[in-house]
Chains A and B, each alone.
Chain A
Amino acid sequence: QKEVEQNSGPLSVPEGAIASLNCTYSDRGSQSFFWYRQYSGKSPELIMFIYSNGDKEDGRFTAQLNKASQYVSLLIRDSQPSDSATYLCAVKIDYNKLIFGAGTRLAVHP
């Protein structure tokens, strides 16, 4: 079982819709969770960080964490074509080791 799993996509949504990205992780001891956005050929950019159960909102982005279900999600409201990118879910395990899922490609079409 992979430590961090994501659907590779592509996830295609129309402009203005809500994009929902999901991630599951295997280590029950994981404490902190991250969402990065990566445009093709560029380095990952941190967009959300969550470590408490529940929701965390920042602008159009909402991260949701459910540690009992070992599940973390990212919602993007009012999706824009500029949101088209690969979204990487990351988890800190073994205290501070940072590992990544394979990423979900999001395509927002006008």
Chain B
Amino acid sequence: DQQVKQNSPSLSVQEGRISILNCDYTNSMFDYFLWYKKYPAEGPTFLISISSIKDKNEDGRFTVFLNKSAKHLSLHIVPSQPGDSAVYFCAASGNNFNKFYFGSGTKLNVKP
């Protein structure tokens, strides 16, 4: 059941540069896509979302892009900061929000 995939297990970026985290999905019925950030020993924390009717959503340093035809979304963090170092999960849901599918996560390391 690999409906949401994050193919890069890790990413290392220099402080101040852009971090781009990618996510692919297979189910065209997904309506909402979310990014979560997770620090060790903590639960995932909601970061930003996008609905399928949009192709971009921006919140401060974080921007999520959705390409429905390619079934691909990405999270851009600019500028990256050392405090952004965490595991980032992409998640997707249909419009009933009863069930969320998560990717396997990408561990981001922002080097000072």
Chain B binds chain A: no
